[in-house]
Structure formats: structure tokens, C-alpha cells
A and B are shown apart, each in its own frame.
Chain A
Amino acid sequence: AQSVAQPEDQVNVAEGNPLTVKCTYSVSGNPYLFWYVQYPNRGLQFLLKYITGDNLVKGSYGFEAEFNKSQTSFHLKKPSALVSDSALYFCAVRDIRADSWGKLQFGAGTQVVVTP
């Protein structure tokens, strides 16, 4: 079984401050981990993913995420938030076992509000 948790429904941050959106996961084997962003009335946009290799993954719009196997976490970070980063962020996990083909498990989402 696989699951993903985003413990915060909403994160508030002032523009220019660091932004962190938390994600923890649970899988039986090794995970593939993804972050997506959804702007109002839009679909989900891919930000970044961890497959293997370097634990620090860099993605679109200045975002990065760090894979921490011991803590089963994949937190999304941005050093300096912009008002335009205000959106709904989803973490997702896929177990690499073949019988989970296509089953990308999404978290409930975290609303990020960046104030000027």
C-alpha cells in the first residue's frame, strides 16, 4: 500500500521569505515522488520529481525538494516566495512495484498564500 500526507492545509508566508510545503509518504518499496501545483481554475502543473540519485531535486519556478529516506519526507522549498506562488500544491507518490502501474497517490493538497 502507498499513501502520502500533507500535514498543513494552508501555509502563509510573506513575499520574499522562504517557503516550505511539507510532505511525508509511506510505500512498501522505493518511491517515486512528485510535486504539482494548481492555480485557480486550472489543471495540475508538474513542478519536479525524485526518481533516484541526488536527494536534492530542482524544478520549475525556482522550487526544489529534498528527499529524506529516513524521515520518509519530500518537502518542497523555495528560498524566496513570490505573490504569484499562491496556489494549491500537491505531493504525490508512486510505488515502483510493477503492480502499482499508473497509481499515482496524491496528497490532499496544501494551499499556499503569499502576502505582499
Chain B
Amino acid sequence: ETGVTQTPRHLVMGMTNKKSLKCEQHLGHNAMYWYKQSAKKPLELMFVYNFKEQTENNSVPSRFSPECPNSSHLFLHLHTLQPEDSALYLCASSQGWAESSGNTIYFGEGSWLTVV
């Protein structure tokens, strides 16, 4: 139990489908993140939300659409994805307001996405 819960753990979708990944954190944190982990590549930061406001969009294609309705929930809406988008998508959270304090980022177990 990491305090950050992601669903579904595995998702297979066609290129024309619309699906969503869900993340919920039970740690009382203010900041939430989406990372992408692909084989043979470093972790890529996709989006950052601080107090429900998006503070970072790391040049992510528009076929990925994040949503953060409150500080505890984060979604990643997926639409017309490509096979190269197949990866492990990791949600994370931190007590992010005090940036200078070196707050630890805590990760969920990830959602394995396969685009066919």
C-alpha cells in the first residue's frame, strides 16, 4: 500500500478508443503528477498539478488530457492514441506547496497501457 492508488492496473485499447486512467492519493498531499515510463527510456514527467491547478505540461501531445478535480484525484484521459504510447503510466503525489523543502514524491503502482 503506497498511499497512491491507480486504476486500472492494466489497459488494452484500440487507437480509436477513449479511455481514462484514474489516480487517488490518500496522503493529504497538494501536488499530483503523471509520469510515463517506456522501455529503454528515462521516466518522463508529463503533467504537474498543484492545488488542482496545472503548473506543468511537458510538451505532451493533446491526445493525453489530464484532469484534476480536487487535490486527491487525478485523471488521464486518453483519446486516439498511437502504439508508441504503450507504456507504464505512473501517478505520484507530494506535499508540494513548500517547494524548497525537498518534498518526497510518492508513486502509485502504475497503469500498464497497451495500444493496439
Seen from chain A, the residues whose Cβ lies within 8 Å of a Cβ on chain B are 32, 34, 36, 41-46, 49, 51, 90, 94, 96, 98, 101-104, 106-109
Contacts and interface: CB of A to CB of B under 8 A. Distances in A.
B104 A49 contact: yes
Interface residues of B, number: 29
Interface string B73-116: 00000000000000000101010100111101111111010000
A45 B106 CA distance: 7
A102 B42 contact: no
Contact of A109 (B42, B48, B99, B108): B42
B62 interface: no
Given A43-B107, A90-B43, A102 B100 contact: no
Contacts of B109: 42-43
Contacts of A41: 112
8 contacts: A43-B109, A49-B102, A51-B101, A102-B55, A102-B99, A103-B45, A104-B105, A108-B41
A22 B93 CA distance: 26
B34 to A, nearest CB: 11
B4 to A, nearest CB: 8
Nearest to B43: A106
